[in-house]
């Protein structure tokens, strides 16, 4: 085997060794080849220069911004008119109860009737909340807008604190007006008015109690915080459980006194089974949670939006 002499190479050059096999003499020849350092351009290779790409805002942030800036959160004069009419009918009922108690010198019965109205209002709010959370859609007659609002509330629960007062209450105020006004016109019994006035008032304002349950303690009026701590209004901690999987508990939003009983006795689960076997309708909570009910967090930039 012969080895060719290797010359010293200048700096900046590279050595490439090529091994050549000569079959006839069964020898190996090592060759030294000098090449320049300038890289050879390959015309068929596609070179992509890196460039900065602006980050794409998340869908949650965009959706939250759209919800926050939604003009449907604002009150209209129609909303205010319905809330005014609802409050008027409730106040008339309470005034008739008070006047009747003074004239007949009976106080215990109207007071007890008012207490019963307060307790049943909490139960009614839970049944209503359960129904529109689990059944129907935006196209459902009469209740469609309420169903859409409550079902979307699980995605953006904190937006209820951005909804203006009359906007939040007008739907229930309209129902209270049509229900209580005839009673005001034809009835003078202080006991009946004690029940009707308190029950209808709590139902109408249940959405405001609901909004306060989503508020932060530092931003709520001290009286509201005190009433929540006493259990007179639904507390923030109790209602927070409704917004955690499986989303099928703590439906009552007036005082929440019914929530423990209804959940332990599985009352709503029994109703769901009855509706399923009788009508073949499945509640939403059986297939949830999905992305529609997964809560989107409020970003710091949205905390100052009013």
Delimit the domains of the chain by residue range. Answer: 77-289
Q: Indicate the range of 47-61, 93-107, 115-129, 260-274 predicted with least confidence.
A: 47-61
Residue 107: Cβ within 10 Å count: 13
- In this prediction, residue 281 carries a pLDDT of 92
Residue 149: Cβ within 10 Å count: 18
Query: Could you tell me which of 117, 136, 113 has the C-alpha nearest to residue 125?
Result: 117
Q: Is the pLDDT score of 86 beyond 90? A: yes
Question: Average model confidence (pLDDT) for the chain?
Answer: 79
- In this prediction, residue 19 carries a pLDDT of 46
pTM here is 0.72
Cβ 168 vs Cβ 153: under 8 Å: no
Mean predicted confidence (pLDDT) in 290-304:
48
The count of residues in the chain is 306
Phi then psi for residue 107, to 5 deg, are -120, -35
């Amino acid at each position: 085997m012969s080895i060719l002499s290797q010359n010293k190479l200048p700096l900046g050059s590279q050595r490439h060794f090529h091994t050549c096999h000569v079959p006839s003499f069964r020898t190996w020849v090592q060759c030294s080849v000098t090449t320049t350092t300038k890289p050879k351009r390959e015309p068929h290779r596609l070179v992509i220069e890196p460039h900065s790409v602006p980050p794409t805002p998340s869908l949650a942030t965009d959706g939250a911004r759209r919800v926050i800036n939604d003009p449907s959160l604002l009150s209209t004069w129609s909303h205010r008119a319905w809330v005014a009419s609802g409050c008027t009918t409730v106040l008339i009922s309470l005034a008739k109860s008070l006047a009747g108690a003074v004239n007949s010198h009976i106080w215990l019965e109207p007071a007890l009737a008012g207490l019963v109205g307060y307790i049943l209002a909490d139960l009614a709010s839970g049944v209503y909340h359960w129904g529109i959370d689990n059944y129907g859609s935006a196209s459902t007659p009469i209740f469609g807008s309420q169903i859409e609002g409550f079902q979307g509330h699980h995605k953006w629960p904190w937006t209820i604190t951005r909804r203006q007062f009359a906007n939040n209450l007008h739907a229930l105020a309209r129902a209270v007006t049509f229900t209580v006004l005839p009673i005001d016109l034809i009835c003078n019994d202080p006991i009946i008015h004690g029940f009707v006035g308190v029950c209808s008032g709590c139902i109408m304002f249940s959405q405001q109690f609901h909004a306060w349950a989503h508020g932060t303690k530092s931003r709520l009026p001290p009286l509201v915080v005190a009433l929540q701590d006493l259990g007179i209004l639904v507390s923030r901690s109790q209602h927070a459980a409704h917004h955690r999987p499986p989303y099928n508990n703590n439906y009552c939003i007036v005082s929440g006194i019914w929530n423990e009983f209804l959940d332990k006795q599985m009352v709503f689960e029994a109703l769901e089974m009855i509706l399923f076997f009788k009508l073949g309708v499945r509640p939403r909570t059986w297939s949830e949670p999905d992305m529609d009910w997964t809560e989107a967090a409020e970003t710091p930039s949205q905390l100052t939006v009013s």
